[in-house]
Structure 1
């Protein structure tokens, strides 16, 4: 579109000492001397794990939830071991924050937008409707986005950088698949050493004066089922034999389908969405010290 402008990219710093919850990933990378042997944190209880999951509506309350897919099966471990591509969700997975929520808060519309985000991630409304509704609540300008990126750089989830290093060491390709915005994801990819062509995300559009125009509806991830479409396209182009999707939301779960991801790991390190976790091949949950050991595959 003529006259469109893009936001300035600012360097970010990994912040590993700040959490939204006490959840940590099931995939707990332990760097090994053998780059072809990826470490995997394995939960060892012989019965389903009882999880105290934070409610997305009220972070101060918890409710007990029991999942029976916290122990990786042999099939899950085999797919993980052989994965030649791993696709990561960004918000509440690679990053501690929901980018659009943080931008909205910065622009003075945090609470209303966060409520829409919770609905979108649970799959209760079409993603494109939720995205348009959220942006319409604050209409961010180019200068606001630039100021936000400068003052509130994204915070990388603990362990993610190490995990991505291990994946790249074993020659697995890494992708970022997001319903967020490229302007906010490019510096994350730069910090993690992920090439820009491996980013599949939305794009904010601005006019010649920096005014907000909307978002690019031609991006696959701008609509429901978009992450699944992106993953299928990636697989078709590169002919991967085993592809894994890691994320926390319903849109990530959608990627687990024929021709798409062979395995969906529900990441519970920031948000644990019960409806998504229940349908995952494996769930990342609190790693209680007496129940966890490091295993290698």
Structure 2
């Protein structure tokens, strides 16, 4: 399997002609995700034997499966104007061979009794706090903090407090955002959750995001509210932002591990799995916590996390 990095620029003719407003840049590493259901093709100069796992890519007109990538004519809606393909070493993306799970890892997966999912950039294709901040006019500054927190370079609690201080969302602003922005689920997540539940496997959402924004996601997936472990925004009598509940375990580094341990202790699960993209998800794989950590890179590949995953 050849891992790769793709960088290309798209010009969307359906948007107003306003310079950079029509240009969107994308970088895909290892796995490719979709762009709002539009048909996207990646034109490549090297075609000989370039292959990659494209199973997470969903295109409206050109479904792509595992295997070779070839040039296809561009969609009428989205026009690629530049592209480059740069093969990367497997070791740069994860443990050698962790994209192909061992028999031991597969046996663990087949025996799980509960699966815990991260929400941002895993169950959903975006980072909830970044999207809310963008809605409130502070997107860029908050996104920079998010990248640092998810990569594990700063304590999660420090990053969470810093991000919220940049835009201090009021209750009315959160409600307005939720009304205008329905959940954007990752391709295939609804089917996966249905299959897990059909096989009597319990599903949990464990997130450093906010319960107010995760409740709608859980409703779509049919996950009960009591199976949600997330942070909680706090508001004053007039709806003004006053902070977040620091008692929630997910409000700090190592909190997801404590949440998984709490679940396991209460339900006596023999085997549990954690699926996510960030350093806080990796932390859940601790004694008494998750037995298996699966790194999902369909939205964002974080190499330091992927390198330590049981399965990428």
- Provide the TM-score with structure 1 as the length reference: 0.76
**How many residues are treated as equivalent by the alignment?**
240
Q: Which residue is equivalent to 2:256?
A: 227
Larger radius of gyration: 2
Measure, in 2, the Cα distance between the counterparts of 1:165 and 1:61: 36
Q: Which residue is equivalent to 2:37?
A: 17
Measure, in 1, the Cα distance between the counterparts of 2:128 and 2:170: 15
Q: Does 2:269 match 1:240?
A: yes
Measure, in 2, the Cα distance between the counterparts of 1:168 and 1:267: 20
Secondary structure of 2:88's partner?
strand
Equivalent in 112, 127, 130 of residue 98 of structure 1: 127
Q: Which residue is equivalent to 1:197?
A: 226
Bigger RCO of structures 1 and 2 (CA < 8 A, at least 6 apart): 1
Deviation above 6 Å: which 4+ runs of structure 1? 18-28, 60-63
Q: Does 2:163 match 1:126?
A: no
Measure, in 2, the Cα distance between the counterparts of 1:103 and 1:196: 21
Measure, in 2, the Cα distance between the counterparts of 1:25 and 1:88: 21
Aligned alpha-carbon RMSD (Å): 2.6
Alignment check: 8 A CA contact 1:16 1:156 kept: no
Measure, in 2, the Cα distance between the counterparts of 1:161 and 1:256: 24
1:24–1:252: structure 2 CA closer, same or farther, 3 Å change rule? farther
**1:80-114, Cα deviation, whole Å (9 max, x unpaired):** 11100000000000000100000000000000000
Q: Which residue is equivalent to 1:83?
A: 112
Q: Which residue is equivalent to 2:174?
A: 145
1:119–1:201: structure 2 CA closer, same or farther, 3 Å change rule? same
Measure, in 2, the Cα distance between the counterparts of 1:172 and 1:279: 25
Q: Which consecutive residues of structure 1, in runs of 5 or more, have no partner in the other structure?
A: 1-14, 29-42, 45-59, 284-297
Measure, in 2, the Cα distance between the counterparts of 1:130 and 1:112: 11
Equivalent in 239, 246, 249 of residue 217 of structure 1: 246
Q: Which residue is equivalent to 2:292?
A: 263
CA drift of 1:24 comes to 7.3
Secondary structure of 1:251's partner?
helix
Measure, in 1, the Cα distance between the counterparts of 2:193 and 2:262: 22
CA drift of 1:17 comes to 2.3
Q: Which residue is equivalent to 2:137?
A: 108
